[in-house]
Amino acid sequence: MLRKLMKYDLRAMGRVLLPVWAGAVLLALVMLGLQFLPTWFPALLTGSYRMTLSLLYSLTILAVVLAVTIVCVVVNLLRTYGMLGQSAYLMFSLPATTGQLMLSRFLCAVGSTAVSMGLTVGLLAALTATAPAVQLHANGSDILILPVGETAPAFWGLFVLLCAGLCFAYTVVLACVAIGGQWPQQRLGATVVCYLGLSYGQGILSFALIFGLFLAAEVGGRDLVTQFSAWMSRHLYTGIGLFACGLALLFALLGGILWVVAHRLLRRRLDPARPPFG
């Protein structure tokens, strides 16, 4: 049943996202064609043409970011919020559990956002690599450094953190929708208030965690701080990777708690006859 739910969700999102993705790619191809147009028509090598092209490049980059990433996030937010709206009647009639319904929306949201982010990065890389004001040199300062050698732990640690942060963000949205749904008449306002409360709570928790680490360092003595600083100076990228993985584990723990809360509340709203768990 989960496969059928995901197929339905992907089709619903594809009707909106596929034209947006195709339009962004077409727009980027047009701008790339305009960049190489002076090589075919040397008469266009004028200052006004290059100034206009630079302006069009800036507008294109802005349009790509807005169209590909922000539209995808908005579509996923609206679809997640609609779980307790008119679509709740359709969802309630399906022979699927609440966990399957949540997991379908969650996987489709995370997957489509990851594709949108990858497409955005690829298009921006293509546009900036051929932009009129960008000059790439072979001295190593403007060449992308591949994640190999000593930089690999930092790169993959940050990559894991990015994935965990993306999953945690949509888990927070699910939890806010579930909590806000407990007040049907003020569902939108309750969802927004819940999101603000969870955001502030996350900030306070992060501050408390950092403060606790500094306090533990002070209690442990200056020798511990000196040893840690010396280790970080020798293994900077490994330290960054471990710190990023630690934050990813924190996101996973908090996301698991929010998932259980959202599952219980959504199950209560979608099917009051069923027990909260099971």
Which helix (H) or strand (E) covers residue 203, if one does?
helix 187-220
**Residue 136 clears pLDDT 50, i.e. is over it:** no
* Whole-number pLDDT of residue 171: 93
What is the C-alpha separation between 153 and 266, in angstroms, rounded? 39
Of 95 and 194, more confident: 194
Query: pLDDT tens, 34-60?
Result: 766 666 666 655 666 666 766 776 777
Question: Which pair of structure tokens corresponds to residue 75?
Answer: 């579509």
Chain-centroid distance of CA 57 in Å reads: 25
**Whether pLDDT at 70 is above 50:** yes
Q: How far is 50 from 44, CA to CA, in rounded Å?
A: 9
User: Is the pLDDT score of 33 beyond 80?
Assistant: no
> How many residues are there in the chain?
278
* pLDDT of 140 strictly over 60: no
Give the pLDDT confidence score for residue 260 in this predicted structure.
93
CA distances from 132 to 51, 54, 58, 141 (A): 9, 6, 11, 18
| Rounded Cα distance, 255 and 171, in Å | 6
Q: Give residue 86's identity as a one-letter amino acid code.
A: Q
DSSP readout, 34-69?
A: HHHHHHH-GGG-SHHHHHHHHHHHHHHHHHHIIIII
The model's pLDDT over 242-270, given as tens digits with 9 standing for 90+, comes to 888 988 998 999 999 999 999 988 887 76
Let me know the angle formed at the C-alpha of 111 by 177 and 78, rounded to the nearest 5 degrees.
30
Q: What is the DSSP secondary-structure string of 187-201?
A: HHHHHHHHHHHHHHH
For residues 155-180, give the mean pLDDT.
Answer: 90
In percent, the amount of the chain with pLDDT more than 70 equals 73
- 124-152 mean pLDDT: 54
pLDDT digits over 220-231, tens only?
666 666 776 777
In whole angstroms, what is the distance from residue 159 CA to residue 249 CA? 13
| CB-CB contact of 210 with 217 (8 Å) | no
Angle, helix 98-129 to helix 152-180, in steps of 10 degrees: 130
Q: Is 245:161 a contact under the CB 8 Å cutoff?
A: yes
Q: Which residue type occupies 16?
A: V
Task: Locate 133 and state its tokens.
Answer: 């004001």
- Rounded to whole angstroms, how far apart are CA atoms 89 and 12? 17
Write down the pTM of the prediction.
0.75
User: What is the reported pLDDT for 235?
Assistant: 79
pLDDT of residue 149: 61
Tokens of 7: 């197929």
Reply yes or no on whether the pLDDT at 207 is more than 60: yes
Q: What is the pLDDT of residue 258?
A: 92
The residues, ordered by sequence, that sit 6+ positions from 142 with a Cβ below 8 Å of its Cβ are 135, 136
Look at residue 139 in the predicted model and tell me its pLDDT.
Answer: 43
Place 133 in a pLDDT band, splitting at 50, 70 and 90.
Answer: very low
